[in-house]
Amino acid sequence: MSGIDIVKSNYVKEIIKRGERLDKRGAFDIRDIKIENNPLFNAEGSARVNLGLTDVIAGVKAVIEEPHSDTPKEGNLIVSAELLPAASADFETGPPGPAAIELARVVDRGIRAGRCIDMEGLFLEEGKSISLYVDIYVLDYDGNLFDACSIAAMRALMNTKLPKYENGEFNMEDRSVPLKIESIVSSTTYGKFGDVIIADMNAEEEAATDARLTITTDGKAVKAMQKGLNGSFTIDEVERLVGISLKKHEELKSKMES
């Protein structure tokens, strides 16, 4: 962090501790969410999501593969995330680093624990099942990649139409089988500044926050959580934020379904 960065982050911290935000939002207000459905057509399903100025795109490819030996009657879900160097001066080229891996695994766990996809339904025949590769590209960064990527992955899966399986292979001419979505999960990510907690941090807020917490729910129960950065949350805070996330689910879900 340069001197300027430290001054800036102290300024952001102070504003938030006063109960305000640079963009005048309330503590738990989520920025505008815009979803573009199936912007790509080579992918089996895709979605581009704008969360404020954060811009991410997710594509789903379906591939016939051998099932995992511990789940011989199920398909696979593989979620990856790329922080493109195009998206921020702070993102570097090269294989995914710890930040991108954490991001992908948190999104993956939410979808998996939420049982959003019927994995057994992806089984084709002995030794063959469908692997769904969900790749999320971060195109432009303005904070809260966890929620933006979670929405993009979820929506891309909802948009997915699988090719017909004929004579042991996919017929790519006929991609008409909608992927069955069993449940929709939503994630909300919070940041902590002293004793003040806010949701949906932008890049400036994210650079200044002490601790981050992502909570994924299906509106009824918690499905996944991940705390990040070197600050801490109290148990009371976690319980309160879980309550807020459970309440926010309907609103986020209806955005994803629109």
Enumerate binding residues for another protein (CB under 8 A). Answer: 70-71, 73-74, 98-99, 101-102, 104-105, 109-110, 112-113, 213, 220-235, 238-239, 242-243, 246
Compute the C-alpha angle 137/141/147, nearest 5°.
70
Concatenating the DSSP letter of every residue in 25-44 gives --TTPPPPEEEEE---SSSS
Joined together, the tokens standing for residue 6 give 């430290």
**Distance in angstroms (rounded) separating the CA atoms of residues 11 and 163:** 53
Q: How far is the CB of 116 from another protein (least distance, A)?
A: 13
Q: How far is the CB of 97 from another protein (least distance, A)?
A: 8
Q: How far is the CB of 43 from another protein (least distance, A)?
A: 22
Q: Exposure string (b/e) for 199-209, b if CB count within 10 Å is 16 or more?
A: bbbbbbbbebb
Q: Which candidate, 37, 231, 230, 241, places its Cα nearest to that of 152? A: 37
Q: Which candidate, 26, 50, 10, 81, places its Cα nearest to that of 143? A: 50
Q: How far is the CB of 128 from another protein (least distance, A)?
A: 17
**Distance in angstroms (rounded) separating the CA atoms of residues 167 and 113:** 33
Nearer to another protein, 64 or 238 (CB): 238
Token pair 């099942």: residue: 129
Grouping H, G, I as helix, E, B as strand and the rest as coil, residue 219 is: coil
Q: How far is the CB of 36 from another protein (least distance, A)?
A: 29
Nearer to another protein, 8 or 112 (CB): 112
Nearer to another protein, 110 or 163 (CB): 110
Nearer to another protein, 173 or 235 (CB): 235
C-alpha separations of 82 from 15, 126, 146, 163 in Å: 32, 33, 12, 26
Q: How far is the CB of 12 from another protein (least distance, A)?
A: 18
Grouping H, G, I as helix, E, B as strand and the rest as coil, residue 253 is: helix
Nearer to another protein, 56 or 213 (CB): 213
**Is 145 in contact with 228 (CB distance < 8 Å)?**
no
Nearer to another protein, 3 or 168 (CB): 3
Nearer to another protein, 90 or 174 (CB): 90
Q: How far is the CB of 233 from another protein (least distance, A)?
A: 5
